[in-house]
A and B are shown apart, each in its own frame.
Chain A
Amino acid sequence: DAGVTQSPTHLIKTRGQQVTLRCSPKSGHDTVSWYQQALGQGPQFIFQYYEEEERQRGNFPDRFSGHQFPNYSSELNVNALLLGDSALYLCASSLGDRVNQPQHFGDGTRLSIL
């Protein structure tokens, strides 16, 4: 039973560039959430996708956007990269709108901005 997979594992970009991160949810899950984790801090919620639509968003600028595909996989796009975007980006999957169902996380993409 494959868990949540993310690619790439590491990425180096320069300021002003754009980046796309990818996530495949755990088998049977249809909801994908994205989190940003700065060094030494807990993960911060970016947004969540369900039925190919963004249905909740955290306090992140419009430079952060996403997409969910019919197979439930998802992408996170970040435009006009800033030094402060350097972080671990985590994807979590879950089943539908059931609050009683836990979110399961991948091991993240480490993004470094030079």
Chain B
Amino acid sequence: DAKTTQPPSMDCAEGRAANLPCNHSTISGNEYVYWYRQIHSQGPQYIIHGLKNNETNEMASLIITEDRKSSTLILPHATLRDTAVYYCIVRLISSGSARQLTFGSGTQLTVLP
């Protein structure tokens, strides 16, 4: 699986949009971009995933650049409960190694009051 690079930490003011970047410059055409977050003492929570197009759900928006070498997770109105470690993961479309999720170190997002 392609490696991802994320900043180790970010701060965001409550009520503002949180934009979390992820670099995956070696991503191949058959790899999805997945985002999970992990709030302290809980298991990882699925947020969103995409292949080429931008995606939006009730939690967040995922913007993938045209060359697919980077992406941004957007939390439109961050709240204190969004404080968590956010993981950007690339995952093969095909079977085999695609079955596992390969986590990096993630970004610690702290939402400030």
Contact = CB atoms under 8 A, between A and B. Distances in A.
Query: What does DSSP make chain A's interface, helix, strand, loop or mixed?
Result: loop
B94 A99 contact: yes
Interface footprint category on A? 20 to 34
Given A56-B97, A99-B32, A99-B93, A42 B43 contact: no
A66 to B, nearest CB: 14
Query: What does DSSP make chain B's interface, helix, strand, loop or mixed?
Result: loop
Contacts of B96: 56
Nearest to B100: A45
Interface string B56-93: 00000000000000000000000000000001000111
A13 to B, nearest CB: 20
A99 B92 CA distance: 8
B87 A42 contact: yes
Contacts of B98: 99
Contact of A4 (B36, B43, B49, B97): B43
B24 to A, nearest CB: 15
Contact of B100 (A4, A41, A58): A58
A97 interface: yes
Contact of B101 (A4, A43, A55, A107): A43
Contact of B44 (A55, A97, A105): A105
Contacts of B32: 99-100
Contact of B43 (A45, A48, A90, A97): A90
Contacts of A65: none
Interface of B: 32, 34, 36, 41-46, 49, 87, 91-106
12 contacts: A33-B101, A35-B101, A41-B105, A42-B87, A45-B102, A92-B44, A97-B95, A99-B32, A99-B95, A102-B49, A103-B101, A105-B36
Interface of A: 4, 33, 35, 41-45, 48, 55-56, 58, 90, 92, 97, 99-100, 102-108
